[in-house]
Amino acid sequence: MAKVQGPMFSVSASGKFADSMVHFGLKGQNIVRQWLIPNNKKSTGQGNNRTYLAGVGRAVGKIQVGKSIANQLVALKLIKGVHSKQSFLVQYVIKHYLTSTTAYAAQMAAMTAHTASLAFGTLASNLNIVDFVLPYSTIGTFNKSLGLYLIAQALIANGLTGTPYTLNITAWTSASVNAMGTGFTS
């Protein structure tokens, strides 16, 4: 049921309206979008997409607002409109690195073979990031280390400055991963 304040569409509204549209507020703006009901809520494609979204989103969520990484994303004007650092980075990672199950497998293999893969795992544990799995996904468990590995690639690709973002991901060491971790919180 939609909750309306003032005449419809003039001040604000929130919730579902007549099974056709959804009203909600986001960053001080009133948003209306079409109400969608997925044909198959638990298809393997939906499961894979939800796994990507949850796996990356959990890692990106650990980047604190007002800290080094978040500040650089804002300074580089990468976060536009109603986006947040969370939505920007999750969307970027999925669009550039997780375009298919094959791309996912390739990224997982690259992260596992990386010389600093243990450091990515340690950082994920220190940040309380957990593995994520959905039973109807065909990609299996989204490794908590992979989210951080993909964020590192996205930060390099988007031109963050300073150590370790001037290095190619293949040249990263445990110290590079720790430096990124420090940028999450300080």
The domain of 154 spans 44-185
Q: Cα dihedral sign for 10, 11, 16, 22?
A: positive
* Residue 7 and residue 53 in one domain: no
* Residue 67 and residue 156 in one domain: yes
The pTM (predicted TM-score) of the whole model is 0.80
Count of structural domains within the chain: 2
Q: Say if residues 114 and 49 touch (Cβ distance below 8 Å).
A: no
Mean pLDDT of 1-30: 70
* Residue 30 and residue 86 in one domain: no
Q: Which tens digit of pLDDT belongs to each residue from 113-142?
A: 999 999 999 999 999 999 999 999 999 899
- Which two tokens mark 115? 């010389």
* Residue 9 and residue 96 in one domain: no
CA 185 to CA 31: how far, in whole Å? 31
Mean pLDDT of 21-28: 78
* Residue 142 and residue 99 in one domain: yes
Does residue 20 belong to any structural domain of this protein? yes
- The predicted pLDDT at position 7 comes to 54
* Residue 61 and residue 122 in one domain: yes
CA 56 to CA 45: how far, in whole Å? 17
* Residue 11 and residue 54 in one domain: no
* Residue 121 and residue 94 in one domain: yes
* Residue 22 and residue 110 in one domain: no
Q: Residue 161: left if φ>0, alpha if ψ -120 to 50, beta else—which one? A: beta
* Residue 59 and residue 79 in one domain: yes
* Residue 28 and residue 105 in one domain: no
Give, in degrees to the nearest 5, the angle at Cα 22 between 18 and 25.
Answer: 140
Mean pLDDT of 137-152: 94
- pLDDT band at residue 167 under the 50/70/90 scheme: very high
Does residue 39 belong to any structural domain of this protein? no
Does residue 51 belong to any structural domain of this protein? yes
